[in-house]
Amino acid sequence: MRTDRTERLLNLVLCLLGARRAISRADIRRAVPGYDGSASDDAFERMFERDKDELRAMGIPIETVFSPNGDVEGYRIPADDYSMPAVSFTGPELAVLGLAAQAWSDAALGSAAQGALRKIEAVAGVRSTPVDLGITLTARPGVGEQLLPILWEAIRSRRVLRFAYRGLRDTESAQRTVEPWGTARVRGAWYLAGHDRDRADVRVFRLSRIEGSVRFASDAADFEPAGHDDVRAIIERLADDEPMGVAEVEVTSGGARLRMKADDPEGTPLRVPYSDARQLVADIAELGAAAQVRSPDHLRIAVRESLEAVRLAHEAPS
């Protein structure tokens, strides 16, 4: 089974960090999963040099050990140079972390946020003090971000996915069957990169353009990933995020998310280029009466329908 690049880099760090002596290239090739399947000596050398350079660029101190006659004996990571200093937080800093965990409590990563806070408290030896601001803090994931957990599970387990997707220039959605390689947030939006079986080619999918649910198309690992060492680079190259229009929105208060996207954050009205109408509708609707769409008409109607759906949901008997 192929070892992906992230796993190979981690295995290399563990190999060099746990060694009491320098590890030769030959031993690294035999011991580190991901190198043992190299097609040739030259392929291994290129792969190892890239990995070594990347880890050093991350700040990991890979040391080259030389013999008395100047030959390279091998490589190691000195544990003392790689260890982290003790973690400590002041009372106010822990309070802010507690607020952050509270904000994420209802989100997909809520349990992870709470778990991280408990670990920090255990290391610090104190508990964070609850802060009552008189308001409820809630993290609002962007459109499509609720799909991240199932995407990550599919990537981890190498299971094929199936979902309905409407591209930037599509008038209606179409079913896609995808071998997922990885996700990345690029230019303010989350994307999935992978092999589209229906198109028989590499594709990237903006999560906010996925319609409905995402489901597994296989019960077990069903593909061997290939050619996706740098998912972010693939997404940056293939992402189709050119503006499809400009919305004029009158904002009377708040609206930080819209102002960040506007041509002039202080303009009245705000002129907001957009490439994803669903995300823009969500950004405007969350402001309620504080935002009014001047144009285009279809966007004004979509915001009105979104607010009406929220009203009906709150009026429905529990």
- 10-64 pLDDT, tens digit per residue, is 889 999 987 788 999 999 998 888 887 666 888 889 889 989 988 888 888 899 9
- Tell me the C-alpha distance between 216 and 154, whole Å: 8
Can you tell me the mean pLDDT for 3-8?
Answer: 74
- Which of residues 256 and 234 earns the better pLDDT score? 234
Core vs surface per residue 26-53: b (16+ CB within 10 A) or e: eebbebbebbeeeeeeeebeebbeebbe
pLDDT at 204: 93
- Residue 163: band (very low, low, confident or very high) from pLDDT cuts 50, 70, 90: very high
- State the Rg of the chain over Cα: 25
Residue 169 has pLDDT above 90, yes or no: no
- Tell me the C-alpha distance between 229 and 146, whole Å: 25
User: 283, 257 in Cβ contact below 8 A?
Assistant: yes
User: Three-state DSSP class for 30?
Assistant: helix
- Tell me the C-alpha distance between 61 and 76, whole Å: 8
Q: What is the DSSP string of 111-123?
A: HHHHHHHHHHHHH
Confidence (pTM):
0.54
The residues near 81 (Cβ < 8 Å, ≥ 6 apart) are 61
Q: Where in the chain is the domain with CATH 2.30.30?
A: 145-238
Q: Where in the chain is the domain with CATH 1.10.10.10?
A: 5-82
pLDDT at 1: 42
- Residue 141: band (very low, low, confident or very high) from pLDDT cuts 50, 70, 90: low
Residue 137 has pLDDT above 60, yes or no: no
Between strands 72-76 and 161-165, the pairing is unpaired
Residue 71 has pLDDT above 80, yes or no: yes
pLDDT at 106: 54
Give residue for tokens 């290939």: 226
- 211-230 pLDDT, tens digit per residue, is 999 999 988 888 876 655 67
- CATH class of residue range 145-238: mainly beta
The residues near 136 (Cβ < 8 Å, ≥ 6 apart) are none
Instruction: Point out which residues pair with 216 in neighbouring strands.
Output: 161
Q: Report the CATH fold assignment for 5-82.
A: Arc Repressor Mutant, subunit A (1.10.10)
